[in-house]
Amino acid sequence: MKVGLFLNTQFPEGTNVVDRVPEMVTQVKAARDAGFKSLWFPHHWLTHPMQMLSIVPTMGYIAAHAQGMTIGPNILILPPQNPMHVAEESATLDVLTGGNYVLGLGLGYRQPEFTAFGVSQTERAARFNEQIGLMKRLWTEDRVDHEGKFYTVKDAGISLKPARAGGPPLYIAGQADVSVRRAARIGDAWLIVNSSGLSKTAPLMKTYKAALAEYGRTPIDYPITVECYVGANNATAHEECRGPLQYKYNAYAAWGLQGRQTETSFEDFARDKFIIGDKVAVKEEIARYHELLGVDHFIMRCQWPGLPVEKTLESIKRLGEIFA
For 84-141, what is each residue's pLDDT tens digit? 999 999 999 999 999 999 999 999 999 999 999 999 999 999 999 999 999 999 999 9
Query: Any bridge partners for residue 6, and if so which?
Result: 40, 301
For 24-33, what is each residue's pLDDT tens digit? 999 999 999 9
Q: Which helix (H) or strand (E) holds 2?
A: strand 2-6
**104 neighbors 76 (Cβ within 8 angstroms):** yes
* Mean pLDDT of the 37-59 span: 96
**134 neighbors 148 (Cβ within 8 angstroms):** yes
Spell out the domains of the chain, with CATH numbers in brackets. 2-323 (3.20.20.30)
Tell me how far apart the alpha carbons of residues 73 and 56 are, in angstroms, rounded to a whole number.
9
What mean pLDDT is reported for the chain?
93
pLDDT for residue 260:
45
Give 118: exposed, middle or buried? Use CB within 10 Å, 0-12, 13-18, 19+. exposed
pLDDT for residue 1:
93
Tell me the pLDDT band of 52, cut-offs 50, 70 and 90. very high
pLDDT for residue 12:
86
Q: Considering the chain, what percentage of its residues have pLDDT values greater than 70?
A: 96
* Mean pLDDT of the 61-65 span: 94
The CB density around residue 255, as the number of other CB atoms within 10 Å, is 18
pLDDT for residue 122:
97
- Check residues 178 and 195 and name the one with the higher pLDDT: 178
pLDDT for residue 288:
97
For 185-221, what is each residue's pLDDT tens digit? 999 999 999 888 999 999 999 999 999 999 999 999 9
Longest pairwise C-alpha distance within the chain: 63
